[in-house]
A and B are shown apart, each in its own frame.
Chain A
């Protein structure tokens, strides 16, 4: 079957084939990523072929200058995450047929990462974040003697298989909306690995870890866009791990931060009026006495007023709000 592939080329040497056509600049926040030149190839492959099959066929028999990282071809090594039709996927796991839109498939290195050449991006931001969460066991004392293992229930190990299944392909970070606007955000992969260690019964530093992960750039900087859950090819579901870390951090007493206040303000508003009071949400999240923080939100507030998005000044409770309160009582815990 014939497939048409449009490959985003980039070469800092400036060597391009004449039929490599410059594309549009990327929209913000990726507008600093260099404009790619798109080169179109046609490949003849079996119906069930994946995008990587096409790229390898191109590289081997049409254009040896195409740079692409790949190794295992079976979603184990994590080399081939790239943008396919504008979202991050593993090329080896993406069926060409499913990804053919308007007769073609467009592939390019994700503009959220620095580009090195063609489909090869610089993964350093990804590895820096990975390192930042201290991704190693800080063993609980006493460490058993060298001929004995830690005795732990199998369920506690099995629970971590989901995070250990991460192949560090970077697809989650490439499409993370929070990372796109905030380069300091630790990101989905690193935080999923953070949970892998914080959730390990053999780790001694759980509380210290939770303190670290609660700081700016940590668990509270996730905006729940679910891109990481959607894009992860291994079912790691980083957002779910981030939510676990938040719960653990709050339970461990790390509540003096905008994230916890924001969650509290949300819950409190819903509890008392049955809906969200957007007017008080921001001051409550930043902290009422945090004057500098409050002032920083002013430009956004002015923009909102200009755009006619100012929430109503008088916040009314919905009818039957007592039933909502009853739910909170019933659920119990922090918001009782």
Chain B
């Protein structure tokens, strides 16, 4: 069945719902397409908080500088300025919508400290800040009556004369494929954590949006910049929020030493994430780890702080490791967490493809550059979600809706049927994904080398070949997840390839990209973004853009 809207938003996390709300406020007929119910979106897993220079004595300039320094000077400073200037109003707007932010004794919003920040400017709700924002925003979507296509899985973007005019989506509940036409599409489908094993990300973070936009002609930028979070739970790899260290927790090695004093003597445990993760990896590699982990020690914070401000991670450590952090330190290690790179957009969320916008983790404005500061991701989603919603609605107002697309619907129908008809070859989707993700963690993880990256690219080509033999192990119509898993694996392969290629191109170490063959940052040659543009069967086109510098020249980065 075909349906028409002005603006379609792909994804219902914070960026997507914020974009939809703003587009609706600007008079657009907007609909959200999401493969999971909005409340299941991974924004809810953001624990620690959201940054803004809101307090007395703080300034957006200070927030912007911390962000630029945190990014290892790869962020575009014009975009960072916009984000940090607009942050206070966006946070206040969420407070007015009903978010139950923590208060200082005077009843105003209160803060906690966070990594890489020169002062405490992280606003929060316990350790469920993402969830608190998400449920509030979802309820605003309900109130505004925005149409949500729930559990609709996007398979391809509709392109007409070089412009994006909608998408094709599979309705999980019926197995029916639909054509959704629009004047503009905002891709806000989140990250790609399933490309790495282990990862803090949820099972549905499969890089759909990166691949869909890339295949529609939008360049992907700085894909090599994959963040490893310093504190993920031993074993399961679940996130232990940076807020623990923000509240004062220590990182200890096997000798009981607060080892961060040797890596970041000023900020200690609250150095930027790339610095802290590498420090942990060094400790572990030099034999001062405990079974491949270091320890996160919260005991001195006392039960009151832990139970009131960090209840969720307290419970998770008990549930999944049997450790009560009030009494014992928790084993943690660096784990894949966030993709700084993504679909290249301007500060309005617009890509180079007319009608195609992007916001949130899937986008790269770039405000995070080589390394994102903790509590800047929630901020990114609501600032650039709002801006892309506004810009897409404006664009839609002066654009004519497409009348076509039936051919795309038919070709997608045929493609999906082809997958369903593929005979079983012994190759499983889950097995191949695990091999891919393990390889990415080993060779394209915290440390990279030319040799490892070349091997990774060769292996990826081999995975692509094997992917052609993966059969769909379920032939049913209703809720066929085996089919969507195969489609997701296809998205992940595109993400993996662009990450490896970008990592091969960048011959230096910057932010999250630590290249053992080029261990130093090279500002002479590499103050540039790398963009990869799809060319079908051929290798992607490589281009560069200079980093926008407004007022902060690159400096030596110490914490």
Contact = CB atoms under 8 A, between A and B. Distances in A.
A165 B45 contact: no
B98 A152 contact: no
B89 A116 contact: no
A52 to B, nearest CB: 10
Interface in A42-60: 48, 59-60
A72 interface: yes
Contacts of B40: 69, 71, 77-79
A152 B103 contact: yes
A120 to B, nearest CB: 5
Contacts of A79: 36, 40
Contacts of B110: 154
A95 to B, nearest CB: 8
Interface in A140-176: 143-144, 146-154, 157-158, 160-161, 164-168
B92 A164 contact: no
A89 B252 CA distance: 36
Given A149-B108, A197-B98, A64 B482 contact: yes
B540 to A, nearest CB: 30
A250 interface: no
Contact of A73 (B88, B203, B485): B203
Contacts of A137: 96-98, 136
Contacts of A77: 36, 39-42, 44-45, 202
Given A72-B202, A152-B103, A146 B131 contact: no
B319 interface: yes
A301 interface: no
A327 interface: no
A4 to B, nearest CB: 21
A116 B479 contact: yes
Interface stretch (B389-397, B470-478, B551-559): B470-478
Contacts of A203: 98
A158 to B, nearest CB: 7
A292 B120 CA distance: 64
Nearest to B481: A67
Interface residues of B, number: 68
A8 to B, nearest CB: 15
Given A116-B478, A120-B479, A71 B473 contact: no
Contacts of B96: 137, 139, 143-144, 146, 149-150
Nearest to A71: B202
B101 interface: yes
B142 A65 contact: no
B125 interface: yes
A246 to B, nearest CB: 23
B143 interface: yes
A58 B479 CA distance: 17
B353 interface: no
Interface in B113-134: 125-126, 128, 131-132
Nearest to A165: B128
A215 interface: no
Interface in A222-242: none
Contact of B88 (A15, A147, A158): A147
B93 interface: yes
A276 B302 CA distance: 47
Contacts of A148: 92
B473 A167 contact: no
A300 interface: no
A61 B107 contact: no
A13 B128 CA distance: 40
B494 to A, nearest CB: 21
Contacts of B308: 158
A48 B480 CA distance: 30
Interface in B459-518: 472-482, 485
Interface in A208-263: none
Contacts of B62: none
A118 B40 CA distance: 19
Contacts of A93: 319
10 contacts: A64-B473, A72-B202, A75-B316, A76-B45, A116-B478, A118-B479, A137-B98, A146-B92, A149-B92, A150-B96
Interface of A: 11-13, 15, 48, 59-61, 63-65, 67-79, 93, 116-118, 120, 123, 131, 135-137, 139, 143-144, 146-154, 157-158, 160-161, 164-168, 197, 200, 202-203
Given A59-B430, A74-B238, A154-B110, 10 more contacts: A11-B476, A48-B320, A71-B203, A72-B42, A72-B45, A144-B92, A144-B96, A151-B103, A152-B107, A154-B107
